[in-house]
Structure 1
Amino acid sequence: MKLSEEVVKLKISVVIPAKNEAATIGTVVETVRALALDLEVIVVDDGSDDDTGIISSVAGAIVIKHPYSKGNGAAIKTGARHAKGDVLVFMDGDGQHDADSIVKLVDRLLSGHDLVVGSRQRGSQANVWRGTANRFYNWLATYMSGHKVSDLTSGFRAVRAEKFREFIYLLPNGFSYPTTSTMAFFRAGYSVAYEPIHVAKRVGTSHIRPLKDGTRFVLIIFKIGTLYSPLKIFAPISLLIFMLGMGWYGYTLSAFDKFTNMSALLFTSSAMIFLMGLISEQITMLMYKRSE
């Protein structure tokens, strides 16, 4: 790919979180460093039990080692704090991401965006379950933000460093940092774009555990809502309960000519949930005001 003059002159930091990726990390670092760009490669060794850190260092990366595993998101935050580049590129160390796609992401970033996410194309998902789950996350994020979200959970992304650091304190230590950072950028009014990419099958075993992480991903769905605009979650639930209360009241009024405790409970619950949404909305606004 022909490199634009802007991309060539840009200082780029490529941050690679890695845990027990000795089989692939050396090749990943070497292919990134082979690009004709002014870049530094930072590998954050998240408490690996193998030679991930040593291999990364030999391949030419700056290695920062966690004394124990803190999580993928924690590794991302460590790398971002140590990076010296104007642009941060995050990618996996398992060989799934093509280093050549870095140029496409950065070039798209320089066209006027603040965050560019590598959007995995059809056939790039690890399995049917994860593909279905990601499609649901994308739909929910699109509803919450009012913007088309092509790939909410992709970990291959390029971002302007100073803007990413505004939201470091919001990011979780686990695998959901892509979700949180994307929604934070939408909330702040920053420009987010998606660049189509293809990913290879990972080498080795995934660190994601279906049962435990499946439950965690369900919680992420609610976190997306409360992070971005809580009323979009609370208001529909409040309305649904209110309509149930009205329906039950209509039934008891016509059948027994009275107002029951169940109707009172439903109406009260509806009001409480709506008020909780209002309070959550105010807290969210204060949270983003702090980042500004």
Structure 2
Amino acid sequence: MLSIVLPAKNEAAALVELLPRLREAQPEAEIIVVDDGSSDQTPEICRQNAVVCLSQPYSMGNGAAIKRGARAAGGDTIVFMDADGQHDPVLVGKLLARFDEGYDMVVGARDWSGQAGVSRGLANGLYNWLATRITGFAVKDLTSGFRAVRADKFREFLHLLPNGFSYPTTCTMAFFRSAYAVAYEPIPVARRVGKSHIRPVRDGLRFLLIIFKIATLYSPLKLFVPTSAMFFILGLVYYGYTFVVHGRFTNMSALLLSAAVITFLIGLISEQITSLTYRRDI
């Protein structure tokens, strides 16, 4: 059975056209719209289209809506897609065709034309490059909200998912960390209907934290070891300079070398915590 989950916050204008097309494309699927505290006609539109609507009493965030939809979904396969009209319902079949090749998650990968502006495109390009370097796999779209997953495997990581906008990042890195098969399927993306809920300044600063989260979710040592090595090299260089010029070992050299040791030890502890986080009792 297939379940399709759409997190929605004031997306009634898009849902009017999207839900009938989605039902036509996937007539047997369970369609769940998670109303994240909308103030428009989202519940009424869902009733008109015989679609399940789970209404939040107030806005909890995109990730929170995804988690609620995943818990309620009855299918063994779940497709997550945006409710703003960017994703063509016909493309669900394309994702599922790739999914049936034996993958645990298939992500709809946008090209440059599908990015919401130059700044977002550059930021997503940076995230993709960093995730590729850390995981050793070609990550083509780390933040895409259009993906098909095996429900049981996705639910293993619900406790890790944030309530905000970065659930795709966490989900992707968790699947890679657990050695689940992930594939990327190129898809076209239409311009969204209505106004985006992402605020450049506030969410831009928050997205910067994703860079560090990517590393710590997958392998903390890949972040802490280079940082530790940087402090160690700086400490040695500064010690060599002060020894030649002043003939002594300075407090700054001691501080840099101590920082190198402390950072490395924190990395070891973080690695153990990460291993316990992904541990599953079989």
Does 2:198 match 1:208? yes
Aligned residue in 2 for 1:140: 130
Does 2:99 match 1:109? yes
Does 2:23 match 1:40? no
Aligned residue in 1 for 2:12: 22
Aligned residue in 1 for 2:90: 100
Query: TM-score, normalised to structure 2's length?
Result: 0.98
Structure 1 window deviating more from structure 2 (179-188 vs 116-125): it is 116-125
* 8 Å Cα contact 1:29-1:60 kept in structure 2: no
Change (3 A) 1:38 1:72: same
| Paired residue secondary structure (1:117) | strand
| Paired residue secondary structure (2:258) | helix
* 8 Å Cα contact 1:231-1:277 kept in structure 2: yes
Aligned residue in 2 for 1:237: 227
* 8 Å Cα contact 1:74-1:172 kept in structure 2: yes
Aligned residue in 1 for 2:260: 270
* 8 Å Cα contact 1:46-1:65 kept in structure 2: yes
Distance 2:47 2:32 in 1: 9
Distance 2:281 2:272 in 1: 15
Distance 1:38 1:110 in 2: 17
Distance 1:12 1:237 in 2: 45
Structure 1 window deviating more from structure 2 (246-255 vs 279-288): it is 246-255
Query: TM-score, normalised to structure 1's length?
Result: 0.95
Distance 2:156 2:86 in 1: 28
* 8 Å Cα contact 2:112-2:121 kept in structure 1: no
Q: Deviations over 1:238-281 (max 9, x none)?
A: 10111111110111111122111111100000100010000000
* 8 Å Cα contact 1:30-1:60 kept in structure 2: no
Aligned residue in 2 for 1:252: 242
Return 5+ residue gaps in structure 1 as ranges: 1-10
Moved over 3 A (4+): none
Q: Matched residue pairs, number?
A: 282
Q: Deviations over 1:223-242 (max 9, x none)?
A: 11111111111111110111
Return 5+ residue gaps in structure 2 as ranges: none
CA deviation after TM superposition for structure 1 residue 26, in Å = 2.2
Distance 1:36 1:239 in 2: 53
Distance 1:37 1:185 in 2: 29
User: For residue 191 of structure 2, what is the amino acid of its counterpart?
Assistant: K
User: For residue 223 of structure 1, what is the amino acid of its counterpart?
Assistant: K
* 8 Å Cα contact 2:105-2:150 kept in structure 1: yes
Distance 2:4 2:281 in 1: 24
Aligned residue in 2 for 1:81: 71
User: For residue 104 of structure 2, what is the amino acid of its counterpart?
Assistant: D
User: For residue 185 of structure 2, what is the amino acid of its counterpart?
Assistant: E
CA deviation after TM superposition for structure 1 residue 60, in Å = 2.2
Does 2:195 match 1:186? no
| Paired residue secondary structure (1:23) | helix
Partner of residue 153 from structure 1, selected from 143, 156, 167: 143
CA deviation after TM superposition for structure 1 residue 36, in Å = 4.8
Q: Deviations over 1:183-232 (max 9, x none)?
A: 00000000000000011001111000000000100111111111111111
* 8 Å Cα contact 2:3-2:77 kept in structure 1: yes
CA deviation after TM superposition for structure 1 residue 27, in Å = 1.4
